[in-house]
Structure 1
Amino acid sequence: MKAAVSLRLTAARTDFQVFFPYSDTAVRTALLRAGVRYEAAARGYLLPATPAAVAPVQAACAALGIAVQVPIVPALAAPLPPPTPHEALLARYCQFIALKRYSPHTLKSYRAAFEKFVAHHAPRLPLELSKPDVLDYLAGCVGAGISETYQNQLINAIKFYYEQVEGQPRQYYAIPRPKRPLTNPKVLAAEEVKAILQGTDNLKHRAMLMLAYGLGLRLGEVLALTPPDIDSQRMALYVRGGKGKKDRDLPLPETLLHLLREQFRQFRPLTFLFEGQQPGEPYSARSLQQVVKQAALRAGIRRPVTLHMFRHSYATHLLEAGTDIRIIQDLLGHSSIKTTEIYTHVAQRTRPASPLDSLGL
């Protein structure tokens, strides 16, 4: 079927300009009857850019056996079906998380856990469930072999709905929680950190790794840095909105300042201090973890290494050097000293020598 009629969206995006063989009386008459109008100011034929206006034109063209070309525009998109009760519930749930200003990571994990909970009980909605229903669901998840961490995440996601979204009392679900295992932080030796940094030639990669170890930054804090966060006058680096939405000022080593300046001159970032392939976009978290993994392999380290191990190593090495634990707490941005005290379990300076050494064997 040869195209004889075509529509083109006007600059105002409220009308289509209609093009057709003007000399064809039958086509012109059919289009005028279908709602097409001539406007002298536009020097042509126009049609409202709405589905209701386009439908009669398409019908008229079909009756004449000619094709009509209609551009794809949002106004003509097929209307979406109304959301199901479960879709509306999830949207409301995510809205509450956003209003609480939780991090994108928390939003993603809570939504996934709550969506799984809702899907399991469909078509029933959460308000139709009883406490035994929820406990049975959690027991089934535990029986399926979920981790203790994910069990806590499920509980938090479910409690958020009932307590925050629905405003029910805090004690609505007294769900037993697993005891968290007390694991020591994984730490790199100073020689291993040195080998990793010396084996990293890429300027951007080396700067990110040196920031993580030299100032004890988290992965997200490294990637969120912007050039104004560096104060060369005060030799300080400002961490904005760290974990728990806490800001902190950190002393900036002079050697690191020179490296950051060189990195800025070479890459000229637009927004973030470290940007990926797209200007103005932060460097990818996954890519940075890959950088760490490859750097560790080049340094001959065979055990798994993550960027967060640089933060653990920073705190442990400070403690071994005699730095007061209260100062380390402030540098790391910990709210509780108990969180910082985990490094006393791995810092070798805080441990007494073994009596075996005194036997002279």
Structure 2
Amino acid sequence: MLLSKAWEAFESDKRIEGFSPQTLKAYRLQLSLLIEYFKDIEITTLDTIQLKEYLAISGKHLKPASLAHRIRFLKSLFRWSHEEGNILKNPAAKIKEPKVGKRIPKYLTEMEIELLREACHLPIEKAIFELMFSTGCRIGEIVSLEKNHINWSNRSAIVRGKGDKEREVYFNIRCDIWLKRYMDSRTDNDPAIFVTERHPHIMSVAQMRYIIKRISNRAGINKEIHPHQLRHSYATHLLNNGAPIEVIQSLLGHEKSETTRIYAQLSGRLRKEYYQKYF
């Protein structure tokens, strides 16, 4: 089976399993790099030594996290190929990922949050910002929200996260007000919560990123703002107000508690900053 044919079957299976479009898009890029290096050869002809050489040469200038991502793709593709009986032995089974140090998430201060809030001029900008910050949702979860996913009576929404798993998130009164004002300003019948301004249809992740960038440019904050920083800021805000790690884990939709516990390190760093400032 050619690499391209193996990918087609692999992608179909993973889509059925619930892999996100973003993950499959990233894996598709990795496949193109693999084929660019080896050409579209029979998957059975590749062995462990060849894969290690590929990683050493193609990953020479990659950061450990990027190299780890490339290795995860190889391990996933070849493990699937072995389980499907397309290859007799998995050549990626013993390839190990590089150690990646856990990075402290970049969060926004209360001042920065207020500056961003003040820089929201249009109802759609206010609605997107408030929903992102008050729910801590990933940008992909926000763009896929539909009107019937909102429960206005208790200010909650059902979002579909990683692995196609659903969870309930909550938003505050400020978000409720701006979300309703934005919805009332629309004249289209599209089921999506957020739609494009021209010829309304569901907004893409790239279009929503552009709106956040537009807001941050107006705010004049001297650093680059990413939508995921609102999620980190939400988690940090909860932690600093005494929310247990288990509750934050559930609200964020983290599968592993280790992923959430990194915010505890962040909180510890904040305590140190306060100590140095006031003692």
CA contact (8 A) 1:114 1:154 kept: no
CA contact (8 A) 2:130 2:174 kept: no
Match of 2:24 among 104, 107, 112: 107
1:279 Cα deviation after fit: 5.2
Match of 2:11 among 94, 98, 108: 94
1:213 Cα deviation after fit: 0.5
Q: Relative to 1, partners in 2 of residues 1:128 and 1:276: Cα closer, same or farther, differing over 3 Å?
A: same
Q: Does 1:206 align with 2:126?
A: yes
- Structure 2's unaligned 5+ residue stretches are none
**Greater C-alpha radius of gyration:** 1
| Count of aligned residue pairs for this structure pair | 273
1:103 Cα deviation after fit: 1.3
Runs of 4+ more than 4 Å apart: 84-87, 168-172, 277-280, 355-358
Match of 1:254 among 169, 173, 179: 173
Equivalent in the alignment of 2:37: 120
1:257 Cα deviation after fit: 1.7
Equivalent in the alignment of 1:157: 73
CA-based RMSD of the aligned residues comes to 2.5
CA contact (8 A) 2:127 2:182 kept: yes
Q: Relative to 1, partners in 2 of residues 1:87 and 1:314: Cα closer, same or farther, differing over 3 Å?
A: closer
Q: What secondary structure does 1:177 align onto? A: coil
Q: What secondary structure does 2:104 align onto? A: coil
1:258 Cα deviation after fit: 2.3
Q: Relative to 1, partners in 2 of residues 1:324 and 1:95: Cα closer, same or farther, differing over 3 Å?
A: closer
Equivalent in the alignment of 1:299: 219
Deviations 1:310-329 (A, max 9, x none): 11111111111222222212
1:190 Cα deviation after fit: 1.1
Give, in whole Å, the separation in 1 of the partners of 2:267 and 2:114: 18
Give, in whole Å, the separation in 1 of the partners of 2:204 and 2:191: 14
1:85 Cα deviation after fit: 4.5
Q: Relative to 1, partners in 2 of residues 1:249 and 1:268: Cα closer, same or farther, differing over 3 Å?
A: farther
Give, in whole Å, the separation in 2 of the partners of 1:139 and 1:115: 17
Equivalent in the alignment of 2:150: 230
Match of 1:197 among 104, 112, 117: 117
Give, in whole Å, the separation in 1 of the partners of 2:48 and 2:149: 48
Equivalent in the alignment of 1:76: none
CA contact (8 A) 1:334 1:340 kept: yes
Equivalent in the alignment of 1:146: 62
CA contact (8 A) 1:111 1:157 kept: no
CA contact (8 A) 2:74 2:92 kept: no
Equivalent in the alignment of 1:345: 265
Where is the strand percentage greater, Structure 1 or Structure 2? 1
Give, in whole Å, the separation in 1 of the partners of 2:163 and 2:2: 33
Q: Relative to 1, partners in 2 of residues 1:197 and 1:158: Cα closer, same or farther, differing over 3 Å?
A: same
TM-score (norm. length: structure 2): 0.87
Give, in whole Å, the separation in 2 of the partners of 1:165 and 1:268: 49
Equivalent residue runs for 1:24-35 within 5 Å: none
Where is the helix percentage greater, Structure 1 or Structure 2? 2
